Amino acid sequence: MCGIVGYIGAEETAPILIKGLKRLEYRGYDSAGIAVLGSAGLTIRKSKGALKNLEEKIEGELGAGALDGTMGIGHTRWATHGEPSDINSHPHTDVSGKIAVVHNGIIENHAKLKVWLMEHGVSFRSETDTEVIAHLVNFYYKGDLLQAVIGALKRLEGSYALGIICENDPDRIIAVRKESPLVVGAGKGENLIASDVPALLEYTREVYYLEDREIAVLYRDRIEFYNEEGEQRQRESRHVEWDAAAAEKGGYEHFMIKEIHEQPKALRDTLRARIKIAGTKTINLEEIGFDASWAKAERVVIAACGTAWHAGVIGKYAFEKFARIHTEAEIASEYRYRNPIFNPKDIFLIISQSGETADTLAAMRLAKKSGARIIAITNVVGSTLAREADLVMSTLAGPEIAVASTKAFTTQLMCVYLIALQLGRLRGMNDTELAAHIEALEKLPEQAERILAGKEDIQRFASLQFNKSKVFYMGRLFDYATSLESALKLKEISYTHSEAFAAGELKHGPIALVDETTLVTALCTQPALFDKMDSNIKEVKARHAATAVITYDDVDYFDKTADQVFRIPRTLDSLSPILAIIPCQLYAYYCSVLRGLDPDKPRNLAKSVTVE
């Protein structure tokens, strides 16, 4: 969703803001703007469309007057209230033009506030909910920006991350958040704010993840933190392990293909931290707090959205198989409104790459209220999810910049397997079975490398198929779950109509859509069901669909049935999704590129969906 940056220091700010916004482009946006405070006062420039439009607009002005200044705020907007336009772009100002605000989130009571402000003589310029904030801050401004913000916050309902500056209060930026992420970076003689860490890494790796309703006041030489009542508080910074290079393309054409290639390392890192090698290898989750007390659970409920939900569906199969425990995988946006039935003995497993997805957080909070214990799987250490869960297991994937999730997904799976196996162990899984699974998990990174080494085969296949108007993925058991993720990847970045279905459902409806314009990819990694899959492939072939199969490298079962067979290294049936998804990620990537699209920034999508 929207991206926020802010800088206060000794450097010229406009280029820093633009660079920071570029680092946040992956979040998704449709317009951009900056506000710089300098000797000419507050100067605002905004532009609809890509950041380059804004860059072109300000090109001649840099170093030449109005945009000179060593503090400012910037924003990339993902439109919610009001169409993408110059006027609706942020920053927004109050009537006097002295207070500028950038905002990520939704002010739910903006309509009421607008009426109230209009009754007090304010006239509005934009259609946004954000503009009310600028006017409100002005309403409460009596010479102290911090107090004005505190006054305005009392009136706001909804979610917000805010960066606010004021011409009459020229040496500080006020930042505050509620339900939308905001990170403060502490530099030397300069301080910054951003929606996400990649925008800060060039300047500092010391960060503060703002807490809900916490206010940060950034001066050039210090940062102060306050609660909503204006009481000052002390905070400890965190050191970010990623360096600036982790957020660069590193020679790859796109972040997505880089991140696909980073999977072996990410899987290795995520696994290695949790395996105890003394004597027989065992899984060690005690450090994160997963001890024997968790074995008393009566049910596991997994809640997540999108790709993370697909990891949850695989989790359902894995928990039931390894730990023989009743497990549900819930779409968070459905779950939160369903008046679900709780049991305080449930384990709640919440999966979210960003740790900031609005529906996922709402589901987590609902579960928490019921007394259930929460385990979070997330890639962002200081995220809201990580802070509010009882136990946090990090996917050690490094920053994922591309909107389409790849390495976050496979590392989420690694975490899910580790928790499911450990719960299985606590509930009676024997040593031999556990050892076989650990051994198989340890092979996965190298096996993933082997799949990536054969990527040209997928590229070639994509060059023949990328114009197919319909692509279906089908599979059974774990392969059905992998199909869901494969179809999502393809539709997200290539805009191809793609769907996934449980292969057994083929005859119950989907086959009506199959014709010569269709590609059907069958995921076949569950040997006990090969004959069923073979029949399904023959059924779609008989309707003139092109067919591809993904199966193990020692299987020739489908060679005569399918038009094309892609092979992945042999692993345990239950672990196959980590490998089988890789050819599908590659296929989606190549189709996107062949269609002339930018796989990193698909239309209409945002990396982190922080509003409903």
181 binds ligand AGP (CB under 6 A): no
Q: Taking contact as CB under 6 A, which single stretch among the options 319-327, 351-359, 427-435, 565-573 is the one that binds ligand AGP? A: 351-359
Q: With respect to ligand AGP, which residue has the nearer C-beta, 35 or 314?
A: 314
| Interface with ligand AGP: number of residues (CB under 6 A) | 16
Closest separation in Å from C-beta 27 to ligand AGP: 11
* 31-38/3-8 β-pairing: unpaired
User: Under DSSP, is residue 129 helix (H, G, I), strand (E, B) or coil?
Assistant: coil
Nearer to ligand AGP, 282 or 592 (CB): 592
Q: What is the DSSP letter of 589?
A: H
Beta carbon of residue 585, minimum distance to ligand AGP (angstroms, whole number): 10
User: What are the helix (H) ranges across 324-406?
Assistant: 332-335, 358-369, 384-388
Which of these, 581, 580, 523, 574, lies nearest to 317 by C-alpha position? 574
Catalytic one among 2, 305, 415, 584? 2
Residue 217's beta-bridge partner residues? 174, 224
CA-nearest of 447, 481, 463, 475 to 553 is: 447
Per DSSP bridges, beta strands 206-209 and 564-568 are unpaired
Q: Choose between 402 and 568: whose C-beta lies nearer to ligand AGP.
A: 402
Candidate ranges 290-298, 304-312, 366-374, 566-574; the one touching ligand AGP (CB under 6 A):
304-312
Q: Which of these segments, 278-286, 403-411, 414-422, 471-479, binds ligand AGP (CB under 6 A)?
A: 403-411
353 is an interface residue for ligand AGP by CB under 6 A: yes
Q: Binder to ligand AGP among 404, 429, 474, 578 (CB under 6 A)?
A: 404
In the complex, the smallest distance separating the C-beta of residue 462 from ligand AGP, rounded to whole angstroms, is: 18
Question: Positive or negative, the Cα torsion across 305, 394, 290, 278?
Answer: positive
**Strand runs labelled E in 157-246:** 158-166, 173-178, 183-186, 191-194, 206-209, 214-218, 223-226, 232-233, 238-239
Give min distance, CB of 376 to ligand AGP, in A. Answer: 11
Note whether 401 binds ligand AGP by CB under 6 A: no
- Shortest reach from residue 609's CB to ligand AGP, in Å: 5
Q: Verify binding: residue 352, ligand AGP, rule CB under 6 A.
A: yes
Which one among 166, 266, 323, 403 touches ligand AGP, defined by CB under 6 A? 403
Chosen residue from 88, 357, 518, 576 binding ligand AGP by CB under 6 A:
357
Taking the least distance from each CB to ligand AGP, the nearer of 380 and 503 is: 380
Identity of the amino acid at 351 = I
C-alpha angle 8-14-15 in degrees, rounded to nearest 5: 105
Interactions with ligand AGP, residue window 367-386 (CB under 6 A) = none
Nearer to ligand AGP (CB atom), residue 133 or residue 362: 362
CB closer to ligand AGP out of 594 and 605: 605
Nearer to ligand AGP, 37 or 266 (CB): 266
DSSP type of residue 179: B
Q: In what order do the strands lie in the sheet with 71-77?
A: 41-48, 31-38, 71-77, 3-8, 191-194, 183-186, 206-209, 238-239
Strands (E), 312-400: 327-331, 346-352, 373-378, 391-394
Of 478-497, which residues contact ligand AGP (CB under 6 A)?
492
Residue 115 neighbours by CB distance under 10 Å: 9
2 is catalytic: yes
**Structure tokens, 474:** 């089908």
DSSP state of 383: S
Question: Based on CB atoms, which residue is closest to ligand AGP, 26 or 139?
Answer: 26
**Local structure of 400: helix, strand or coil:** coil
Q: Helices marked H in 497-557 — which ranges?
A: 530-541
Strand ranges (DSSP E) for 54-199? 71-77, 92-93, 99-107, 158-166, 173-178, 183-186, 191-194
Beta bridge partners of 239: 206
How far apart are CB 599 and ligand AGP at their closest, in Å?
11
Question: Which alpha helices (H) appear in 471-529, and where do they start and end?
Answer: 478-494
C-beta of residue 323 within 8 angstroms of C-beta of residue 428? no
What's the token pair of residue 162? 């805010």
List 47, 159, 327, 360, residue binding ligand AGP (CB under 6 A): 360
The residue nearest ligand AGP at its CB is 306
- Using CB under 6 A as the binding rule, whether residue 327 contacts ligand AGP is answered as no
Shortest distance (Å) from residue 361 CB to ligand AGP: 9
Of 465 and 608, nearer to ligand AGP (C-beta) is 608
Q: Which residue in the set 104, 138, 307, 521 belongs to the binding site for ligand AGP (CB under 6 A)? A: 307
Minimum separation from the CB atom of position 527 to ligand AGP (A): 29
Sheet holding 546-552, edge to edge: 497-502, 470-475, 518-523, 546-552, 564-568
Piece of 83-91, 187-195, 224-232, 302-310 that binds ligand AGP (CB under 6 A): 302-310
Residue nearer to ligand AGP on the CB measure, 145 or 609: 609
Q: Does 306 bind ligand AGP (CB under 6 A)?
A: yes
Task: Please state the closest distance from residue 77 (CB atom) to ligand AGP, in A.
Answer: 19
Query: Is residue 470 flagged as an active site residue?
Result: no
The catalytic position among 22, 455, 468, 607 is: 607
Q: Please choose, from the candidates 94, 237, 216, 240, the residue with its C-alpha nearest in 3D space to the C-alpha of residue 161.
A: 216
C-alpha dist (Å) from residue 438 to 99, 271, 484: 58, 9, 26
Q: Name which of 262 and 492 has its Cβ closer to ligand AGP.
A: 492
**Contact characters 445-484, ligand AGP, x per CB under 6 A:** ----------------------------------------
Q: Select the span of 130-138, 201-209, 275-283, 354-362 touching ligand AGP (CB under 6 A).
A: 354-362
Which stretch in 54-62, 306-314, 316-324, 419-427 sits in contact with ligand AGP by CB under 6 A? 306-314
Smallest separation (angstroms) from ligand AGP to the CB of 408: 7
354 or 526: CB nearest ligand AGP = 354
Q: Which positions from 586 to 605 touch ligand AGP by CB under 6 A, shown as an x/- string?
A: -------------------x
Q: How far is the CB of 480 from ligand AGP (least distance, A)?
A: 18
What is the spatial distance between Cα 7 and Cα 297, in angstroms, rounded to a whole number?
48
Q: Distance between CA 80 and CA 82 in Å, rounded?
A: 6
Residue type, 570: R
**Neighbouring C-beta atoms of residue 75, cutoff 10 Å:** 31
* Binding region for ligand AGP (CB under 6 A): 305-308, 352-354, 357, 360, 403-405, 492, 605, 608-609
Residues acting as catalytic residues: 2, 607
